[in-house]
Chain A
Amino acid sequence: MTITLSEAESRRIVARHGVSVSPFVTGSSADAVVEAVNADPNVTYPLVAKLCGRRIAHKTERGLVRLRIADEEALRSASNDLLAATRPEDGEVELLVSSMLPGNRELIAGLTTDPQFGLVAMFGVGGILAEAVRDVSFRLAPLQPIDAAEMIDDLETKQLFGEFRGEPAVDRDALISTLIGLCQAGADLEGFVSADLNPLIIVDGKPVAVDSLVEVESGDEPDERPSR
């Protein structure tokens, strides 16, 4: 049995290993997140607000993501709406508010535990269509920089990595560091099962995770849910 950590927990785990995540704050009420946003100069409007918790693995499907929040009033209203959407089975929840970063390219980086090969890294075209498009590449972790570089070169959609719709080319070294860092995060976390950085968007050429999911063995916390 496995559980998914909340987005905030997941973000902190990958960020500790050098993965760049969009600036964010958390809080349990509209007042708390407004105060936190005002106190953190890195978190800037427009914002994204999400309801997250260990039992909420797929926020978009439940309408628990609010985009393009322009000001404090909108943030309050979105926060209250999200908290009102909480279901009893969600358990402990919190609000996560982050800067909404501009970027047209959505990638995915991930890590999973393969029954044959152990920790396996994945990289590819991300976003909500990731599984439908399936332009992804795998390597066994840990990754050497050359392995990560070749994962990028494996993809069919190579034009995503050059200059793209007025945005600069992707910083390959930053992408390689992200992939290597993600592998280290998985290797260091006890009970690690899998992780997604999806989407990993390209901002000024650098990859930034704007959502993150880490799945771990459930250990002493029994969980009745099937793991999808």
Chain B
Amino acid sequence: MSHDLSSLFDPKGIIITGVSSHPGKFGFVVLHNLLASGYQGRVFPVGREPGEVLGREVFGSIDDIPEGAADLVFICTPQSVNEDLLRAAAAKGVTAAFFAAAGYREAGPDGVEAEQRLKALADELGIALAGPNGQGVVSTPSSMCAQIVAPYAPAGEIAVASQSGNFVSSFLNLAHHTGVGISRAVAAGNAAVLGIVDYLEWFADDPATSVSLIYMESIDNGREFFDRVRPLAERQPIVVVKGGASAAGARAAASHTGAMASDDSVFDGMCRQAGLIRARDVEEGFEVAATFATQPLPLGNRTVIVTSVGGWGVAAVDAMAHTSLVPMTLPSDLMEAIDLKLPPRWSKNNPIDMAGGETRDTVPEILEMVATHPEVDSVVFLGLGIQSNTAAMMRGGPFHPDHGLERIVEFHERQDARYATAMSDISQRTGTPIVVATELANAHPDNPGPATLRSLGKMCHASAGRAVRSLDLLTRHAAWRRARGLSA
């Protein structure tokens, strides 16, 4: 059954229980984060101490809140009082609840019972219940950071659902770092009612979301999971990071097949069959999701590498071994066209090593030629930011701005910003994905190359290998779709 989660992700008003003036308490932190993220709906803090917290009047009881003014309740109170609070909230028109409160299944036999009661109550009241024992929910279309921890995130098209709260934070931090933003993010907590697949079902219909990213450790019913996610994966890319992948090894079995069917190898096969895009770890998961969110799907696996220096191109070709990507031989018409743009020392091969022969417009022109060529399916661009890196040393040295340094520094910085903008424009316009990598994305995030990509909300990978990995998964997923007659 699919749940309507619009009150959870886009509530018109939020009740927060357990609010006190102590800035270390969950209720306070949620109120703070909600107001700090710029949430525009109505906010009703409820607590035992009368007065104001963060300039907001604290209500002594949910009964005092106007009917129909809130549709989400965020629960930070002790387990024993929460069933009454949920009933009171439902009576005021609340249809969704996020339970940050702990003391449920994770807390022993009494907690298990409390969670059973909570589940039954949510069912009785018709409430979409997230948690308990979860860190919160983020929704950028509603400027909402309803979490007991940081951070908020820039707006974007990636929706996150996680069985681990702290990995929600990790994904949001990576969104900050890369500039590739988030639409929704939710920690499933104990998942008493709503589980990962319930969130995926809602994300698949969410106009603010173009790709889902999930972290999971356990599956209650593998076959049901498969049957439910498969139709979703046809509608939206779903990137999966699985924890505990190494936990279960071989089993005792009479057949070789049984002996080799470890949990991880079966899970991996299930992902491939369902069209789930499996990433190896949290960082890769985010980067892959960011690539899906910001790049068109390639029409095939023929890849051209464009680089300003030789070594990076070699590393990218090496990274393509054991992937679906083929570093294609350059078509002769493309060779001839590039020959007119670069000095004779260029590589005349793939990777296209420009060998430092770039003038003002060379990089955008060559990227355009490569990306529009009908035989090229995808492009890897390496070397963004090196001009600005030189400029940074000049700018910080003892001779700036004299000796002509001001002019050249500004030229270099403008150039890298132009290259970044060109990549973003060209991939969007031509439908050919262009992935970009430079270690400057981590080492000097303010470099105008990576900084411009970040401001455009485009992923800049930190190494050729990581860019290739993301492009490989993008390409494999496109092939999975084509093999099933699904549109690109």
Contact = CB atoms under 8 A, between A and B. Distances in A.
Interface of A: 2, 4, 57, 108, 110-114, 116-118, 120, 122, 124, 130-131, 134, 136-140, 146-147, 149-151, 154, 156, 193-196, 198, 213, 215, 226-228
Interface string B243-279: 0000000001111111111010111111011000000
B223 interface: yes
Given A117-B222, A118-B223, A140-B226, A194 B272 contact: no
B223 A117 contact: yes
29 contacts: A2-B254, A4-B254, A110-B255, A112-B255, A116-B219, A116-B223, A117-B222, A117-B270, A130-B260, A131-B256, A131-B260, A134-B260, A138-B268, A138-B269, A139-B272, A139-B273, A140-B223, A140-B273, A149-B483, A150-B273, A150-B480, A194-B258, A195-B257, A196-B257, A213-B255, A215-B255, A227-B252, A227-B253, A228-B252
B484 interface: yes
Contact of A120 (B252, B269, B480, B483): B269
A228 B258 CA distance: 11
B266 A120 contact: yes
Interface string B201-235: 00000000000000000010111001000000000
A15 to B, nearest CB: 18
Given A117-B270, A140-B273, A122 B257 contact: yes
Contacts of B263: 116
B443 to A, nearest CB: 35
A111 B226 CA distance: 18
Nearest to A4: B254
B270 to A, nearest CB: 6
B259 A111 contact: no
Give 6 nearest A-B pairs by CB, closest first.
A110-B257, A138-B269, A116-B222, A117-B222, A194-B255, A112-B258
Mostly, the A contact residues are: strand
Given A114-B261, A116-B263, A122-B261, A139 B269 contact: yes
Contacts of A111: 257
Contacts of B270: 117, 138-140
A149 B483 CA distance: 10
A71 to B, nearest CB: 33
A224 B231 CA distance: 45
A124 B252 CA distance: 20
A137 B269 contact: yes
A189 to B, nearest CB: 14
A194 B253 contact: yes
A150 B261 CA distance: 18
A108 B259 contact: no
A146 B484 contact: yes
Contacts of A227: 252-254
Nearest to B260: A136
B254 A131 contact: no
A215 B258 contact: yes
Contacts of A131: 256, 259-260
Given A117-B222, A122-B260, A138 B255 contact: no
B256 to A, nearest CB: 5
A113 B484 CA distance: 27
Nearest to B250: A131
A194 B273 contact: no
B397 to A, nearest CB: 51
Interface string B59-101: 0000000000000000000000000000000000000000000
B223 A112 contact: no
Contacts of A156: 322
Nearest to A156: B322
Given A117-B223, A146-B483, A150-B483, A108 B261 contact: no
A196 B263 CA distance: 19
A227 B222 CA distance: 25
A196 B265 contact: no
Nearest to A126: B256
Given A108-B256, A112-B258, 9 more contacts: A112-B261, A117-B222, A117-B226, A138-B261, A139-B272, A140-B226, A150-B273, A194-B254, A194-B258
